[in-house]
Every structure is written in C-alpha cells, then in structure tokens.
Amino acid sequence: MTRLLHLHLDSRRTRLAVALLIATALALRACAKWTHGTSTLSQLLPILIACAAAAVIAAGTRSLFGDPERASRPLPTLRLLHVLTLLAIATGALAAASDDPATMVRNLAGLTGLALLTATFTGAPLAWTAPLGYVLICAAEIDLHQDPPWAWPILPADNRAATLLAATTLIAGLTITTLRGPRDTPSERP
C-alpha cells in the first residue's frame, strides 16, 4: 500500500503542487500591504490567492498517465488522501500568511470545492475556470458595495451562511472527486 501511495502521489506531481501552494502563501504575505482597507483590490486580492491555491489542488487530481490504479480497490481512498493532504498544506500555509485566517480558510475550502467540481466536468487543467469566474462575479458585488448571501467569499468570517455554503461546496467537490476523479480526456463523458 505504501508503494501504491508513493506512485499515486508522484503521478500527480504532488511535490510541484506543494511548492506552488507554498508559493501562494508567500505571495499572500508579500501582498499584505495591499490587503488592508475597503478598496475592491484590497478585498479581492486574498480571494484571488485562495482561488489560485484551489486551482493548484484541483489540478493535482490529474495523473499524467490517467488512472493506472483503476484496477486496484483503494483508488477512491488514494484520491481522498491526496486532496486532503494538499488541502491541509494549503490551509496551514495560507492561514499562517493571512491577516484574516478564518476568512482565508473558508474561502480556500469553498473555492477548492468549486475547483474540484469543475475538474470533474471539464478536466483538471481547466479546474481554475469556474472558481475564477465566480470570484470575478463576486468582485462586481464588492465594487457595487453589496454583499448578497450567494457571494460568500466577500462576506465576513463570522457569517454562518457563508461558512455553510463554502463547507457544502467543499464536501460536494471532495465527494465527486473521490468517487469519480477528474475528467481526463475531452472524449470522456462525465
């Protein structure tokens, strides 16, 4: 089982994903002076960085070789362990680099769920598209000085509805990714 886990992680370029997740945390810390205030940029920048980390996690679900482990029984377990490991690394790194760790963790969780759902239907290389589109729609709400309940990334950390929406999105993304995996080829049907 240990060898299978090692091969599974290597086929998904896990070391590269970890390096990129740490880079997103460093970018967040480097941008700290621009994340204070009420401007659209200061509110949007941490959300965009969480979106980047979510895209890295979802892109890491794809193997360069497809899923050669399909013949083995523990494939769903391997998928779940892989995603949870990357999510834990990203959560720790971004929370440590953020001035508002609770909001960062919530946004990372929800955007990761959205990226995982996107990877299942469009493929892991395009997993960034739906989360980025959603963040840009939320940016319009910031610009309009509105905070509708569906735009959970822009809501305060203590907003329970926002936390529930983000958690539900993460659970849905984890479930479908664990059971099905990402769409690997354009000809494959979801």
Q: What is the pLDDT of residues 112-161, one digit of tens each?
A: 999 999 999 888 889 999 999 999 999 998 888 888 989 999 999 999 99
pTM of this structure: 0.84
On whether the CB atoms of residues 152 and 165 are closer than 8 A, the answer is yes
Q: Which residues contact 54 (CB under 8 A, 6 or more apart)?
A: 90, 108, 111, 112, 114, 115, 128, 131
Please give the average per-residue pLDDT across 82-107, as a whole number: 93
Q: What is the pLDDT of residue 92?
A: 95
More confident of the two residues 11 and 80: 80
Q: What is the pLDDT of residue 170?
A: 96
Of the chain, the percentage scoring pLDDT greater than 90 comes to 50
